[in-house]
Structure 1
Amino acid sequence: MSVATMPAGTETGAAPEQKKSRKKLVIIGVVLVLAIAAAAYWFVLKPKGPEPAPEPGEVVSMEPIQVNLAEGHYLRMALALQLTTTVAHEADGSKALDLAIATFSGQSVDTLAAPEKRAQLKEKLLSEIEHAYHGDVMDVYFTEFVTQ
């Protein structure tokens, strides 16, 4: 049996060349992955910053309603909704009136006479209205508020 041997310089010279080209490919691959990740962050995942505050648009006034309070009393109230400029359709006030009835029904006259308690109830109502109208309403105003 004869074993053919290659010259010594040829075998040792090919292995380091192959290792160098493999390292170059790995480095190029890593740089490419980092570039793609940076582009994805910049165009897709980058925080956009704070959203601009909504601008006030039309104010929609509603007819007064009567709400039953505790101990046989009642509240006559009328609401107006401050819409944002992004509202493209006419606002239906039925959701707001329903939420107002649910919020104020059963309250005592003393509670509604206290300015801080009335302000808390108004904030609760506004929060529920903003949620129900998906951000199309930015404020609610009492245009009539009479207890008896």
Structure 2
Amino acid sequence: MSKDETTTAAADAPKKSKKMLMIIVIAAVVLLGGGGAGAFFMMKGDSAEAAPVKGTVVALDDAMTINLADGHYLKLNFSLQQTADAGAESVDTSEARELAIDEYTGKTLAELSTEKGREEIKKDLTAKIVKAYTEEDKKMVMGVYYTAFVTQ
């Protein structure tokens, strides 16, 4: 064997090993990526099925006047977004009124003066109302809409 033939044979061997390594790496990436994508879509499907469907909106009859800190007041009224699971009959709003009074009583005017403050307190109120109106793992209410929000 000549010197040139030995060099060519030695050069071919690493190329074949690199090709084989590259094929193994690509196969592993495809398999892992496919498994990850499958798991993602399966989990996504479960959460999409659990999302409640909007039903009717129930308005509270009258606005409430709530005492805030430092002698200020809040005139508040809101509506409840029911889920389709609640059916055609409107939910009793008494408990929602009580939860709103408890949530807003004693808050400062500064807390309610900013959009961020109002949204944060509304988020807390909505979570409490949804929890209160959940029966046998069925959400009867899924949201709160302000219809009056006046501070003094």
Q: Quick one: which amino acid aligns to residue 127 of structure 1?
A: A
In the alignment, is residue 117 of structure 1 matched against residue 117 of structure 2?
Answer: yes
In the alignment, is residue 54 of structure 1 matched against residue 58 of structure 2?
Answer: no
Any gaps of 5 or more consecutive residues in structure 1?
1-46
Q: Greater Rg, structure 1 or structure 2?
A: 1
In the alignment, is residue 107 of structure 1 matched against residue 107 of structure 2?
Answer: yes
Any gaps of 5 or more consecutive residues in structure 2?
1-42
Indicate the SS of the match to 2:95. helix
How far has the Cα of 1:52 moved from its partner?
3.5
Instruction: Show the 5 A alignment for 1:59-138.
Output: 59-62=57-60, 63-88=62-87, 89-134=89-134, 135-138=139-142
Q: What are the Cα deviations for residues 17-42 of structure 1, in whole angstroms up to 9, with x where unaligned?
A: xxxxxxxxxxxxxxxxxxxxxxxxxx
| Structure 1 Cα separation of the partners of residues 46 and 77 of structure 2 | 38
How far has the Cα of 1:92 moved from its partner?
0.5
Indicate the SS of the match to 2:148. strand
| Structure 1 Cα separation of the partners of residues 97 and 78 of structure 2 | 8
Give the corresponding residue for 1:34: none
| Structure 1 Cα separation of the partners of residues 81 and 56 of structure 2 | 6
| Structure 2 Cα separation of the partners of residues 65 and 92 of structure 1 | 16
| Structure 2 Cα separation of the partners of residues 49 and 145 of structure 1 | 37
| Structure 2 Cα separation of the partners of residues 113 and 90 of structure 1 | 32
The total of aligned residue pairs comes to 102
Indicate the SS of the match to 2:86. coil
CA RMSD of aligned residues (A): 1.6
Q: After TM superposition, what 4+ stretches of structure 1 lie above 6 angstroms from structure 2?
A: none
TM-score (norm 2): 0.63
Q: Quick one: which amino acid aligns to residue 78 of structure 1?
A: N
Give the corresponding residue for 1:141: 145
How far has the Cα of 1:99 moved from its partner?
0.6
Q: Determine which structure has the larger helix proportion and give its number.
A: 2
Q: Quick one: which amino acid aligns to residue 49 of structure 1?
A: D
TM-score (norm 1): 0.65
Q: Quick one: which amino acid aligns to residue 145 of structure 1?
A: F
Give the corresponding residue for 1:37: none
How far has the Cα of 1:90 moved from its partner?
2.4
